[in-house]
Structure formats: structure tokens, C-alpha cells
Amino acid sequence: MSKHHAVEPNSSNPTFSVTWAVTLKCNLDCSYCGKDGHNNALPHPPLDECKQTIDFLVQYIDLYMMKKSPLGRHVSVNIFGGESLFHPNIVEILNYFEEKYQPYKDKWSMGLNTVSNVVVKDKIWSKIVDKFDFWTVSYHIESTAEQQALVRKNILDLKQRNKNFHVSLLMHPQYWEECLETIEWCNTHQIKVLPRQIDHHWNQFQYWYSKDQAQWMRDLHSSGHTNKDCGVCNKPTLEQKVKFVKESVIKFVNLNDEGRQCCGGAVLHVDQDYSNSVTHVDNTFKGWSCSVNYFFVYVDQTTKEIFVNRDCRVNFEGKVGPIGYTDNYQPVLDNVPTAPTITCVKKRCLCGICTPKASTKEAYDTIIKKYLN
């Protein structure tokens, strides 16, 4: 169980995050990315079905924006996959989204974002690079040297264009030195990099970290940066010293048991103490009341399923499952005005850890008021 009783983002006006997997095909095949992350055996969803999803999304977003406080009516539409830029109709998809947003632009603001491995050649890159307001470059060490050279070329192009972006680097325990070299490259070019642990099932031991690697990650969480000469990082707590001794015996560490940071690196408040903030929290919230539906929606275009969140997927009936389907989305829209509070039924919280949540419904009701109209 979490040692806290409430978690909130360090912002009174967090954005509404739309996550749309337009395809499950990907031009990489990373070992830690399961079939829910990519599946190259499946075809790209057709353009007309993608347009139907956009028709749903703008209406769904509008319903939630009218429930939010005026200062919180900003939407971040994250188009990803698989690898979204691998979809053959990605340009038409982006153009249609811009078109359907126009009737709502005076009611709420929207930014088109993407999580992409940016293994994209010039012909497509030049057509889409300026269509996104923010880029999360998902850097994968398991890719080839040629692919990584293309990634670094496109990263430098984003910087030259003054695009808003950061690099999200999954710290692979088997390619640790390569990860550190990538961080050094980013620091040299003054590029924001967010090192992240790999989420995995407990028995995937290849993604457990050595005790030194685990300590590096803990130092990062406590200091907030990757400077190896940081003075804070050289002062372990008593708890850290005890862990280090234990890990000297068992050799490897499952960091999933120690909590998690926000995917985007957002700072969090705990226990309704707004004078203190953290970047890493316990992530066991089973039985908690959660506002995930007020801040997220996830669509898997391949299956046509609609979820409140990509990783959470807890629905309004207290089960893990979709809240509806894009080819019959009216019931989903009809449910928005009277949707009950979601109660967590998951062992671990991954994406969605940053949404306001509390261990009791009473505390949750107090917290959520300041985010709503």
C-alpha cells in the first residue's frame, strides 16, 4: 500500500490528455514493448475509421472541458502508436483533426503532440514536423546504429526549429553504458532528457537493475537531474544504506516495487501538503478514488476500444476494460454527465499517476473541487 493518502500534480490546471494509438505497427521491435505496445502483424487502421474517431474525440473532449474550471480547459492530443508516424495516412489524419477542432477553438485550447521514436526519413519528416506543438522523443537503445543516427539527426532538427520537445530515455539495464552516453550527448547539446525505468512484469528479470544502477536512478529521483557530480547524490539516507547492503546480497533490484515518476516528469504533491513536492511516489493505490477520467482518455484505433487511460483502463463499473467503442460512441458521450467516481482496482499505477487521487472518497471530493467548474 502507498505510504501517502493523496497525490496531486503540482498544478491547479493540469491539461486533459488525449492518447490515441492510430496504429499498432512500428518500425522498431523493442523487447520490452509487448503486443499492447506494438504488433506488426496487424494492418494500419483505414483513414475513414480514423476520421470517425476524431469525430468522437472532439465531442468527448468538449463535454469534459465544460466540466473543468475555465483555466483548466487545455487539451493535449497525443498521437502515437506503435509508431504513429509510420501510418501511411498520418498527414491526412493530422489535417482532419485540425479541421474538426475549428468549431471549438474559442471554447478550449488544443495542442497536437506526439510520442515518437522519430525514426523517420526526410520525405515524411518534412511534412509533419511542424504540425506538432510538442514532441516526446522516445529513445530506444535497442535500435540499430543507423536508426539511432537518424534519431539524433531529427532531434537536432527539432532543436534547430525551436520546437518544444524532450527526450524520454528508457534506461535499459543491459545497455546501461549506452544509455549514459546518450544522456551525455543530450546534455552536450543542451537537450532536455528524462531517464525512465522500464515498466515490466515482476518476473521479467532482464529488466531488473543492478544495485549500482538502482542507486543511480534513486539519486536522479532525489536530485531531479543527471549530473553525476551532484552533492545531493553523494549523501544517501539510512534507508538507502540498508537497501544497498541488501542489494549487495541479492545483486539485482526490481525498481517497480519502489514507485514511479510521472511519464512526462511532472512534479507531484502528496498528502495535500502543497509546500512540498516530489518527482517519484509510491504507485500502489488500490481502493483509492481517482479522477483519471477528468484528465485522460485513450483510444486504441486497431481494436476501436475507448479507455479512460492507456495503462489504467479501469472503467466506471470498477473493472479493467473499455468504456465504449469508436464505431458506436454515442453511449460513451451520453455517460459523461453522470459518470461515477472511478475506484482503483489495479496493483500498480503507471500512466495516470499524476491525476488527483486520494485513499478516501471524502478526501477525494475535497481535492477534486478545485479542478472543476
Residues 128 and 19 in one domain: yes
Is residue 9 within a helix (H) or strand (E), and if so which, with residue range? strand 6-9
What is the value of pTM for the model shown? 0.81
Cα distance from N-terminal residue to C-terminal residue, the chain: 32
Helices (H), 224-319: 238-250
Least confident of 75-84, 273-282, 339-348: 273-282
Does any domain span residue 75?
yes
Which pLDDT value is given to residue 200?
73
Residue 185 belongs to domain with CATH number = 3.20.20.70
- Contact (CB, 8 A) for 255 and 197: yes
- Split at pLDDT 50, 70, 90, the class of 93 is very high
Residue 347 confidence (pLDDT) above 80: yes
Could you give the strand order of the β-sheet that contains 164-170, starting from the edge strand earlier in sequence?
A: 193-196, 164-170, 134-139, 109-116, 74-80, 16-21, 296-300, 305-307, 324-325
Helices (H), 66-175: 90-101, 122-128, 145-160
For range 303-317, the mean pLDDT:
95
Least confident of 217-221, 310-314, 340-344: 217-221
In the 8-state DSSP scheme, what is residue 255?
A: G
Residue 157 confidence (pLDDT) above 90: yes
Boundaries of domain holding 95: 13-206+290-340
Residues 27 and 165 in one domain: yes
pLDDT tens, 35-53? 667 887 899 999 999 999 9
pLDDT tens, 160-215? 999 999 999 989 999 999 999 999 999 999 999 999 888 777 667 788 888 889 88
Is residue 183 within a helix (H) or strand (E), and if so which, with residue range? helix 176-188
Which pLDDT value is given to residue 233?
43
Instruction: Give the dihedral sign, CA 241/242/248/252.
Output: negative
Which pLDDT value is given to residue 158?
98
- Split at pLDDT 50, 70, 90, the class of 243 is low
For range 61-77, the mean pLDDT:
94
Share of the chain above pLDDT 70, in %: 90
Residues 157 and 108 in one domain: yes
Residues 226 and 114 in one domain: no
Which pLDDT value is given to residue 166?
95
Residues 230 and 190 in one domain: no
Residue 117 confidence (pLDDT) above 80: yes
Which pLDDT value is given to residue 249?
44
Residues 129 and 198 in one domain: yes
pLDDT tens, 250-305? 556 777 667 787 877 788 989 898 888 888 888 899 999 999 999 999 999 999 99
User: CA of 136: how far to CAs of 83, 169, 279, 339, in Å?
Assistant: 12, 10, 18, 31
- What's the total number of domains in the chain? 2
Residues 17 and 153 in one domain: yes
Q: Which residues contact 331 (CB under 8 A, 6 or more apart)?
A: 324
Does any domain span residue 22?
yes
- Split at pLDDT 50, 70, 90, the class of 77 is very high
Q: Which amino acid is at 372?
A: L
Residues 187 and 171 in one domain: yes
Residues 52 and 182 in one domain: yes
Angle at 243 between CA 252 and CA 258, to 5 degrees: 75
Residues 69 and 145 in one domain: yes
Which pLDDT value is given to residue 288?
96
Which pLDDT value is given to residue 229?
45
For range 233-257, the mean pLDDT:
55
Does any domain span residue 50?
yes
Which pLDDT value is given to residue 355?
92
Residue 132 confidence (pLDDT) above 70: yes
Average model confidence (pLDDT) across the chain = 88
The C-alpha cell 459523461 sits at 336
- Split at pLDDT 50, 70, 90, the class of 238 is low
Phi, psi of 251 (to 5 degrees): 80, -40
Residues 58 and 84 in one domain: yes
